[in-house]
Structure 1
Amino acid sequence: MTHLPKIELHLHLEGAAPPAFIRGLAKEKHVDISGIFDERGDYSYTDFWDFLRVYEAATSVLQTPEDYARLTAAVLAESAANDVIYCETFLSPDFCGGRDLGAWREYLHAIREAADRAEAQDGITLRGIVTPIRHFGPDKAREVALCAAETAGDWIVGFGIGGDEKAGKPKDFAWSFDMAREAGLRLTAHAGEWGGPESVRDALRDLRVERIGHGVRAIEDLALVDELAEAGVVLEVCPGSNIALGLYPDWRRHPIGQFHDRGVKVTVSTDDPPFFHTTMRNEYDRLSKAFDWDDGVFRAINATAAGAAFCDEATRARLQKRLEP
């Protein structure tokens, strides 16, 4: 089952950068970021907030559209090697051109060209979800939303929000989400990871999203779990990420099994895979062992992901065909 074709809906492009790639780029640019790696050369952090610091330090060496093109190629090669056929990645104009629309278009062009090459070579399709960084504040998020609205279309298909969930409230970002919605973008939001169940309720009510990134803390409010199931809200669950960051002690005690049993639509993603020493194959393998899930369960999860993907209907139909046994 680890070799099944897979759909991934929750992947941060910079967070998927292999450490060796970032080290190589830092060396080329004569930037010293040695402090963010351990003795084995892996990313090193102590908790979620330190992870954000290390993430932003690693991202600091990605300085040009060409850097992002090379990053995209490296990330998609790894995803394709894990049998991923379709991926939605979070992209932030904060990192790609400092929220300047002209610069953002240049970065986007480079990323898309690299994605097109990967699709021709490995058959993996990539689409972008524009994502402001929550702890950068609502004003910068408005600038990001403008970049998103101006480039919405067949490739930029969604709008979300990432970063520190404890910074502000979802309603602080409602203007940005309204702008993205009016531009025709589909909506998701990180919630229910470091914020409790109320953060999921807030995102659904104040941002009117159709998917939730993570959402796992909803399990602490079973009435909310039932509401998610009834409303058909899709959770972009990243079990390996949650376990690596200490939200749950092990795979068996991760709530994805409970969500699945209670009829909530769950999907499986890696979030920032090299940071959490995981891959899509690893996620499937560990979930299979923890919950005794067979091919049938994973096929159903991928069917859910295909239905929840923000792509156009022609792309969705093509994915559904590739998912058939």
Structure 2
Amino acid sequence: MSWKDTPKVELHLHHEGAAPPAFIRQLAHEKKVDLSGVFNDDGSYAFRDFVHFLSVYEAATSVLKTPEDYARLTTAVLEECAANGVIYAESFISPDFCGGRDVEAWKEYLHAIQEAATKAEADHGIVLKGIVTCIRHFGGEWAKETALCAAETKGDFITGFGMGGDENQFTQGTFKWAYDCAREAGLQLTTHAGEWGGPESIRQALDDLKVERLGHGVQVIEDAALMQRVIDEGVTLEVCPGSNVVLGVYPSIDAHPIKRLRDAGVKVTVSTDDPPFFHTTMTREYEMLEQAFGWGQDDFTALNLVAAEAAFCDTATKTKIKKRLEAV
């Protein structure tokens, strides 16, 4: 079965990481930027492992210099999402890349992104919300500035605060001030944990940052007591199976714990993370999960309803999303 047109909700999508390689190459050509080493011979992104992926990601991102660049990026990303049936998406957007954490510059970038998102909603029926994201390996002080940018722009579009980057750098608690600031501003919270840092990184995220969702979070499967805590507290996992396999967290989709987590009662959702880097789309994720676990329409509708309920948006938007999902 083709899952291309099935309505989907995606909660874990990095804005720059979703940039089609052709878009980045075109922008580099226009700006006369040398991106040697960023692409394979076939035009796809080239990286060896997770740490190298981060450096390639930042090199590709380096051509995104202006609000207009981000408007074009947003259009390209949302067109691709909508072509794969996504009706609602949340993307991680970082003031580190959009104005260097200067609040006024950040607002200019944000305005451009939001304008492009509004047009994409009118053209393709896809709703986008933004999660302001600090970069873990940049450290706690820069995260404070990022949180202030988030607090200043919290509203209908900016609804959440999160953290990406190298999970092996610092502890979750290093970023407590930033998360407290975002929480006080009324933003909902997520963080990358349990992709590389093991169950302990998840425990830190829950104890120190008090997040509602976990980016990846799959390594919770290694700690039965912690998994029960995640279930009891209703924490939702933003699971990215294809990403986990490409980066070597798990050797194959068959070995991925998403089914075991779901069967145990953990709230799991499905996302692509950085889709062109990992040679995936939301359609491809569904195809792999169908093949590995025999999941069908009822399973995917249920997963999407979990995602809609966990989405960082207002009740009216959630209701509209759920109606579109339930109509299938």
Distance 1:261 1:200 in 2: 20
Match of 2:92 in 1: 90
Q: 2:199 aligns with which of 197, 200, 211?
A: 197
* 1:246 counterpart = 2:209: no
Distance 2:260 2:36 in 1: 41
Distance 2:37 2:53 in 1: 13
Tell me how far 1:209 sits from its aligned partner: 0.2
Match of 1:57 in 2: 59
Q: 1:267 aligns with which of 266, 269, 272?
A: 269
Distance 1:215 1:183 in 2: 25
Distance 2:37 2:174 in 1: 34
Distance 1:236 1:66 in 2: 29
Alignment of 1:169-208 (within 5 A): 169-208=171-210
Distance 1:217 1:34 in 2: 35
> Which SS does the other structure have where 2:284 is aligned?
helix
Match of 1:287 in 2: 289
> Which SS does the other structure have where 1:52 is aligned?
helix
Match of 1:32 in 2: 34
Match of 1:140 in 2: 142
Structure 1 residues 107-141: Cα deviation after superposition (integer angstroms, max 9, x where no partner): 00000000000000000000000000000000000
Root mean square deviation, CA, Å: 0.7
% same residue: 65
Tell me how far 1:34 sits from its aligned partner: 2.4
Query: 1:235 is aligned with what amino acid?
Result: L
Unaligned runs of 5+ in 2: none
Tell me how far 1:75 sits from its aligned partner: 0.2
Distance 2:35 2:60 in 1: 7
Tell me how far 1:294 sits from its aligned partner: 1.3
Q: 1:214 aligns with which of 203, 213, 216?
A: 216
Match of 2:280 in 1: 278
Match of 2:78 in 1: 76
Unaligned runs of 5+ in 1: none
Match of 2:316 in 1: 314
> Which SS does the other structure have where 2:215 is aligned?
strand
Match of 1:165 in 2: 167
Query: 2:250 is aligned with what amino acid?
Result: Y
Structure 1 residues 164-190: Cα deviation after superposition (integer angstroms, max 9, x where no partner): 011101111000000000000000000
Please, what TM-score do these two structures have when normalized by structure 1?
0.99
Distance 2:251 2:281 in 1: 19
